[in-house]
Structure 1
């Protein structure tokens, strides 16, 4: 997910995804407040039906300021899991010919991977004869992206997702470039309606729990706490909670997880990616990290886990992510599909 985990985290995330695989969410025995999130967020997508054939060619303005003309969209290569999810959910999954390592949902799993660790392989992309590449502004290396452009392949660049407010604009950007703007509007409306339904059904609670987003990769000894720019704040707040890291004054994306940082954040719950939780030995291992057991979250073993490939995607399945977060925080699900 080349979104807010880009930059300092991107190589660590790529390593973790390649070594831990695409499926499974295990918790150590003794967990009391965590719920298997992989069962809560569907592994398969829900594509729109009745989508008209793309009306092409179209010329759109890419997020990098370039004008991009899309003449055909028969062989599409999205370079992030989030963008792949959007293309598939727009009903155009049969046109996708490759994926990057973060596209872990069932429909994409058999496609060839065109990234090495997390860097784009221009040779792998071009070998599949794409007529459109859809990328994030953080997709790279830049030399690979320029090599793809030099081969005459249109490259649409989309701004990374940072919050719930980005769900609609990202869907629209992709749909417009694929010549299916009406489908983009339908998917945007459906996604927003479902997110709104979850928020409207939040359970009544007197307080707003403080939730700290932790990035964990035990195999690499990487333990970080999210701040105001981690990308999780919007999701946490939509669940009726407070981003403990941001509220404690952490202004960057991530900061090293220390006893002092945890004490200042004083989280009531910990939000983690499922494979990150696995990598430290489940909740039993998590509470052994310095300072965790002394927090309210550690004392009550209140851990919320969501599958890595979807947590911060801010796309068509974000309502499911939010529903899972709410259910794990408060003990019941909300927001039926409509």
Structure 2
């Protein structure tokens, strides 16, 4: 399915889910996704998937159990029942993967980041966002728990394993290179390796198709990923943020990394943002909303002095979608390519 790109006035950005290009206070209606400095085309965009649900693979082979896998924490874990699966990580990746493997009906508990409609009725086991409750999870009578170290506390995960429930950890790193290995690792743990290979191949093909849309040229766009949660948490992404690999796949330059930021995230200062000089600013929609939308974003130190700020270049995407790095990754890249490179007035 093709992604949908919506254009918007700064006021309407608050009502949509997407990745944001910065706008100045009092900015006018959206126009284009290209340009630099204060002279090129400008505008805010919303990159939207027309269907947030993971698309299950065609294979219907039953899980082959028991199976023993090496958990990411180095422990060998044997799984002999996948009828009641709990998935919990910060990004919703594991839930998305299980649904795409065709085992969504077996998921009895999931993290709050898994926001797609097919999982809406599954109980949330991370009501606070990143904290697990052993009692709430054990009440679901899980037969296997899929998790990673992006969520916790680890003492709760250890308690679940001590209660006799198989707990499998996966790599918490979220990059394009890790998408297929993660899919295969989850499939192996659930006894459906053939489905995993099929899903990984499909996802690789979709990612490659989206990457092929990156324009050729000697002057690629510079895109900065900003992570905001109100004015108390204002960070710019650097190497290893996850967003950097998406930006590179779009044929652009990660502005934070290029400006010398070596950690995943660094506090935003006017000097850092002006030095990064992004043509586009990428954000989660929830982060944009948390600072009052486009008007609030323009008040972040340094934003108005960047090419992105001058051109009001805004592209936003749903929080649970942008950095999930699961089976929807190719479609996410496709939607971002539309939002970044195609004109808004269409």
TM-score above 0.5: yes
Judged with a 3 Å threshold, the aligned counterparts in structure 2 of structure 1 residues 30 and 51 are, in CA distance, closer, same or farther, namely farther
Q: Quote the offset at 1:294 in angstroms.
A: 0.6
Match of 2:178 among 154, 163, 166: 166
Deviation at 1:216, TM superposition (A): 1.2
1:35 to 2:55 alignment: no
Alpha-carbon deviations, 1:22-56, whole Å to 9, x = none? x943899845222222x336322211123201000
State whether structure 2 residue 93 is matched by structure 1 residue 93.
Answer: no
Q: What corresponds to 2:296 in structure 1?
A: 285
**Deviation of the 1:289 alpha carbon:** 1.7
Q: Which runs of 5+ in 2 are unaligned?
A: 1-14, 31-42
Structure holding more helix per residue: 1
CA distance in 2, matches of 1:215, 1:42: 25
Q: Which residue matches 1:105?
A: 116
> CA separation in 2, counterparts of 1:41 and 1:157?
31
Is 1:295 paired with 2:287? no
Which secondary structure does the structure 1 equivalent of 2:235 belong to?
strand
Could you list the per-position Cα deviations for residues 209-259 of structure 1 after superposition, in whole angstroms to 9, with x for gaps in the alignment?
Answer: 1110000112x5321111112121111000000000011110111111111
CA contact (8 A) 1:326 1:332 kept: no
Paired residue for 1:58, among 56, 67, 91? 67
The DSSP-based 3-state class of the residue aligned with 2:177 is helix
1:18-33 correspondence runs (5 A): 24-25=16-17, 30-32=28-30, 33=43
Secondary structure at 2:44 match in 1: coil
TM-score by length of 2: 0.85
197, 204, 227: which one aligns with 1:215? 227
Q: Structure 1 272/238 Cα, relative in aligned 2: closer, same or farther at 3 Å? A: same
Q: Number of matched residues?
A: 309
Change over 3 Å in CA distance of 1:332–1:31 after alignment to 2? closer
After TM superposition, the score normalised by the length of structure 1 is 0.87
The whole-number CA distance in structure 1 between the counterparts of 2:289 and 2:248 is 25
Q: Is the 8 A contact 1:51 1:90 kept in 2?
A: no
**Paired position in structure 1 for 2:12:** none
Name the residue aligned to 2:140: 128
- Shift of residue 205, structure 1, vs aligned partner: 4.6
Correspondences of 1:62-211 after superposition (within 5 Å): 62-80=71-89, 81-117=92-128, 118-211=130-223
CA distance in 1, matches of 2:16, 2:80: 40
- Deviation track 1:155-178 (CA, whole Å, cap 9, x = no partner) reads 010001331000011001100010
